[in-house]
Structure 1
Amino acid sequence: MRTMLRAGAIALAASSVLLAGGVAAQAAPAAADVTFTVGNLIFEPQQWGHTGSLEVTITNHTDQDVDKAVTVLEPLAGTFDDATGTQGCLIAAPQDGRQAWDCYLGTIPAGESVTVNVVFYSPAAGKPVARRATTSGSIEIDGKTVAFPAVFRSTSGSVANPVAYTPDQTANLTVTTPGNVTLTRQDDGTFAGRIPVTLTGNGDAGHQLLGGQMAAPAGLTDWPYAVDGNCGPGDVDLPVPPGGTGVGCAFFERLAQGQTRTYDWLFTAPADSQPGPLGTATTSGLLNSPLIGAQTDGANKATFTVTIAG
């Protein structure tokens, strides 16, 4: 649902207002037309990050069944999660540093309404004060656009007097390892070993999923991989030792501010490997989003030695 690309653009409303008291905004109706209303988006604090749901109700006032799609522009980069009540979403062209999604509604019978719940996730940690995003999202159907603000409820339960909020624009991760992985002989005579790589989220930049890279030394069997990742060899932004291999992995989950996740990487070597150090490997953690800047301070990288047991 989140991997197909389509070029396109959306006309956005020039301004928006915070909707109070649960009163929904409505696209300007036309006689015998399709109209829609947009509720409020409140990000609720969770154990890790925030979640929010935006209700959109589309009504077919015509005497004909109609097929419609809705374009969702997320209020903050990397926060779109899902749109329940649709038949699937395709990624569209980004706007103003945020991603848009085209979601197909299917057929709306004459005189009936359908409701879609657009789900958002922010990795931001909870705060004792309410916050309001400095950018708004929008819903567009048939060229009509309604903008909606995004408010973060405080950890005390209030949405009153929200302060302006802008999330990080670059990744901010810390990566740690034990510093060495020792490959021991297995029942089939080959060598294998696992090393845990821990990622800690220090910032609140939005992202769709996590990424990991590994630059492994020569002498291994095939290439190392993260046990819980979707991995493959290829170019990496790490120094690959001579004769070694670069590996990239995708982890289909997010990392909230202050949260840690640990992934085991599996290394194997042939049965005739000689005991001793095989070389140095380098690993990194990434936030997979084209809308945020890459981390440059090196804290998201770690090196460790690969050793064959005697």
Structure 2
Amino acid sequence: MSGALTLSEGVGPHVAAPWASRLLMLGSRAAHWSRSHSGQQLVIAVSVPARDFAAVLIGCGWMMASPAPRLPPVREVATSIQPGAPVRIVTRTRIITDFFDWIGTNRDRLRVGRQWQLDKVLAMTPLRSLKVPQEQPLPEPGVISRMAGLDKEWAARLCQPPADLAFAGTLKWLRQDVSTFLGRGNEREPIAQILLPEAPRVATWSTRLYAASRLDMQLPPADVRAVVLDGASATSYLAAIEASVVIVVLDRSVADESAPERVLNYRNTRGQPLSVEREVRWAPPPGVETLGFVVPL
């Protein structure tokens, strides 16, 4: 990934983050590895000088490696579902989740929330369920999305994003990291636009955020393929996570040896060592250390 990346908060100044591209690459390489190694859980512990932004950057890399969904034409979808079914549509300017009402007899109009000309609806997909209809503007792909090729099939990606990534940690810190901007040159893009975190009033979402303090009551569901455990509290539940990929962020700025010990205990009791650099094809940036192993699922 060429070009120096930057991080910034809101309208504040850009801060050069030359190490960010390596963490993005870790998420992408882990995603590629998991597709060709079914029946195994890949665990990578990443020891960093400070946890800030590490988890969300790894998650962004995972999202960048996700292939775009192949959606049928809108007319085909609209004629195959029943009135009252929950759907998500993407138009030229909006993303909408609502209940499908009808498609016109000439099949040139449909009603989802309100009436739409069919040629202005770029993508449509059924939803499993919907509690409350939502609507939001359709964002333009930013500099990082374009650099990663996510702008191709942009409407399809936002209509049916993957829902296979979760983070667990201190929610306040995770939300702060998600709210920052990742940039290149003079452009920047909200990290939230790449990760699409689940939230009460969004019309589309992709990633879930879990409080480490509540993992004893709610673990990520079975359809989550990757979990990033951010910090010592989240690492307490490493052995309970059944995702295909688990990446543990160990913060060396915190004097707590319990998290590394849990990782080593999990490897020694259930895992087989793996060379992250050779088998996952990822080399850490300076100041970052890794430990990798696989566990049978």
Larger RCO of the pair (alpha carbons < 8 Å, separation 6+): 2
The two structures have a TM-score, normalised by structure 1, of: 0.23
Higher strand share: 1
